[in-house]
Structure 1
Amino acid sequence: MVNETLITELRDYIKKRYRLVSIPPIFGGTAKLPGAERGIRPNAFGEAAELLASFVKQNRHEPFAFTLEKLREEKGLKPAELYKQAWIDKRLYSKILTSGNYKPKKETAIAFALALQLPITEFNKFLKTAGFALSDSSISDLVVRFCVEHELWDIADVNALLFESGQKVLCRE
């Protein structure tokens, strides 16, 4: 249950961690293709394509739906238990599982991660499978991280803290 002490603790948490960050330029930034640190420069399209394919292969992860189902089974939850705890509609849950490469909204991925009660490291890995991350430059992300670190898994409590912080609450997609 959300109380005044928890709200005060959340405010202090946000004050300590909130950062405005600059976005690095897309071109000319620090991202490099594999081999660039050794001075290897592709001199043909074929070489660049090979480097890119290698990079994608090394950095690719399992699809969101696969990871979701694997974690659900590991946690011993029935499908209905998971989507109800996440406040996700049964039809959406079914669509996620049957659509192959379905990309959920960030709020949906967060809701599932909360329902799965994932510790922060696993929580972050799970969000990454959907293409998301928690950021120190987002108040709502800090609220979510605070809840995970304090093992506040109930979405009603998370929503209460998001609302108290003036942020958009988690809701059905």
Structure 2
Amino acid sequence: MVHETLIAELREYIKKRYRLVSIPSIFKGTDKSLPPGTERGIRPNAFGEATELLASFVKQNQHEPFAFTLESLREEKGLKPAELYKRAWIDKRLYSKILTTGNYKPKKETAIAFGLALHLPITEFNGFLKTAGFTLSDSSISDLVIRFCIEHELWDIADVNALLFESGQKVLCRE
């Protein structure tokens, strides 16, 4: 059961952190007579160098697949598979699909539900979301609600959903 004081605290949390970001156009003031990329400091015919740099970057920043990270964290927390997917409100078939499909990419809500079910502190939670290709943003009220819940150790999906609903956001549900 979510209490009124918690809802009031959540409203203040969102007010402090929620901000809309305006992004200026990257194309303002570019000279159309220059070769593509030159206005950003790219030398013509530098494709080979760029490809090598990209390959190196990907190698250095690549993470373990989501399913591998999920299972590692489940084992580390001492949870049985059924405990984990039930806590996350995830169907057993979906859980099995995640584990058996090569590079399965879950929906953001699914990754969040698993992160909550694992009771991950915010830094671990962010790293876990990153393995699924996501992040929490200060420009999303829904993400702020999730961060609020993590910081206040509100792990129960029912409580999280109540706060999301109270904030006018989409609730976490089965994928």
TM-score clears 0.5? yes
CA deviation string 1:24-73 (max 9, x = no partner):
66789xxxxxxxxxx99684433221111001011111111110000000
Question: What corresponds to 2:112 in structure 1?
Answer: 110
How far the C-alpha of 1:19 sits from its partner, in A, is: 0.8
For 1:91 and 1:27, locate their aligned partners in 2 and report how far apart those are by CA, in whole Å.
47
Question: What corresponds to 2:21 in structure 1?
Answer: 21
Amino acid at match of 1:68: L
Distance change >3 Å, CA 130–CA 26, structure 1 → 2: farther
Distance change >3 Å, CA 159–CA 44, structure 1 → 2: same
What SS does structure 2 have at the residue aligned with 1:77?
coil
Distance change >3 Å, CA 60–CA 156, structure 1 → 2: same
Is 1:159–1:170's contact at 8 Å kept on the other side of the alignment? yes
Q: Are 1:158 and 2:154 an aligned pair?
A: no
How far the C-alpha of 1:124 sits from its partner, in A, is: 0.5
Amino acid at match of 2:119: Q
How far the C-alpha of 1:86 sits from its partner, in A, is: 0.1
Distance change >3 Å, CA 113–CA 42, structure 1 → 2: farther
For 1:49 and 1:72, locate their aligned partners in 2 and report how far apart those are by CA, in whole Å.
37
Q: How does 1:13-52 map to 2 (within 5 A)?
A: 13-23=13-23, 43-52=45-54
Larger Rg: 2
For 1:120 and 1:159, locate their aligned partners in 2 and report how far apart those are by CA, in whole Å.
18
Distance change >3 Å, CA 74–CA 134, structure 1 → 2: same
Amino acid at match of 2:49: E
Distance change >3 Å, CA 59–CA 100, structure 1 → 2: same
**Unpaired segments ≥5 residues, structure 2:** 29-40
For 1:166 and 1:74, locate their aligned partners in 2 and report how far apart those are by CA, in whole Å.
35
Distance change >3 Å, CA 138–CA 52, structure 1 → 2: same
Is 1:117–1:153's contact at 8 Å kept on the other side of the alignment? yes
Q: In angstroms, what is the RMSD of aligned CA positions?
A: 1.9
For 1:163 and 1:45, locate their aligned partners in 2 and report how far apart those are by CA, in whole Å.
49
Amino acid at match of 1:64: F
**Unpaired segments ≥5 residues, structure 1:** 29-38
How far the C-alpha of 1:22 sits from its partner, in A, is: 2.9
With normalisation by structure 2, the TM-score equals 0.87
Amino acid at match of 2:80: K
For 1:12 and 1:47, locate their aligned partners in 2 and report how far apart those are by CA, in whole Å.
49
Distance change >3 Å, CA 79–CA 103, structure 1 → 2: same
Question: What corresponds to 1:131 in structure 2?
Answer: 133
Question: What corresponds to 1:34 in structure 2?
Answer: none
